[in-house]
Amino acid sequence: MRRWVVRGGLGVVAASVLPVLLLRWIPPVLTPFMLGRWLDGVAGRRPAVSIAYDWVPWKAIAPAAPLAVIAAEDQRFPTHYGFDLGAIRDALRARPEQPRGASTITQQAARNLFLWSGRSWPRKILEAYVSLLLEACWPKRRILEVYLNVAEFGDGVYGVEAASRRFFGHGAARLTRREAALLAAVLPNPKVLNAARPSPFVLVRARRIETQMARLGPTSLAGL
């Protein structure tokens, strides 16, 4: 029995590591979030949309885009190992009426690639496990490259290339700092917020992101 338990555990680990290793080099064709959005439209739970998703490699993304998402979502991304302990501590101390997020870019990439939407302890545990796998198997640049390509920037709009074309009329390689900041500003609620028609909230958030981008500087990407 002990032998079978050990073999089963090793099998589960191997089955989870294999897709992570493959996706280090192969672009994902689809993610659970994209599939879920499409199925919601088919089932009539939400208005049907055509999924917009165009994978582009790192070199085809303007440097302003990764800098903007780091500034907006996870400023310790270059140095942490998948979890921002300081942000987690601040989130635990935050008042219930003013909740604070603590998810890193690694955790969000893990969630978008392999998991489902919603909040539950099983999903959080799986998210932590997959985040550790990503940090162990992928370089930081790959994590950020994949996140930029699968993050939702609008209802049914996934990835910085599709978002750039949808909202600004050109590819991700031509994104300006302002446009990159606007895209990063909608990440908290991309189904409601719009980078092309920014609300006052988005405009204020984008200005703050640009300020943080200037503070971080392009050297924050140098080691990725």
| Bridge-based pairing state of the strands 52-53 and 157-158 | parallel
pLDDT at 155 (0 to 100): 93
Q: What percent of the chain has pLDDT over 90?
A: 64
Give the pLDDT band of residue 17 (cuts 50, 70, 90).
confident
In 3D space, the residue among 79, 26, 86 whose CA is nearest the CA of residue 221 turns out to be 79
| 43-57, 92-106, 200-214: range with highest mean pLDDT | 200-214
pLDDT at 100 (0 to 100): 45
Lowest-pLDDT range, 50-59, 66-75, 116-125, 179-188?
Answer: 116-125
Q: How confident is the model over 171-199, as a mean pLDDT?
A: 96
Residue 75 pLDDT exceeds 80: yes
Q: How confident is the model over 7-26, as a mean pLDDT?
A: 78
pLDDT at 99 (0 to 100): 44
Q: Give me the domains of the chain, ranges plus CATH numbers.
A: 13-221 (1.10.3810.10)
Residue 89 pLDDT exceeds 80: no
The 8 Å CB, 24+ separation contacts for 57-63 are: 57/145, 58/141, 58/145, 60/161, 60/171, 60/172, 60/173, 61/145, 61/148, 61/160, 61/161, 61/172, 61/173, 61/175, 62/172, 62/173, 62/174, 62/175, 62/176, 62/180, 63/218, 63/221
> Torsion angle, CA of 145/37/194/152, rounded to 10 degrees?
-10
Question: Could you read off the pLDDT of 181-191 as tens digits, one per residue?
Answer: 999 999 999 99
The larger pLDDT score, comparing residue 119 to residue 7, is at 119
Question: Could you read off the pLDDT of 129-149 as tens digits, one per residue?
Answer: 999 999 999 999 999 999 999
The larger pLDDT score, comparing residue 40 to residue 208, is at 208
pLDDT at 224 (0 to 100): 83
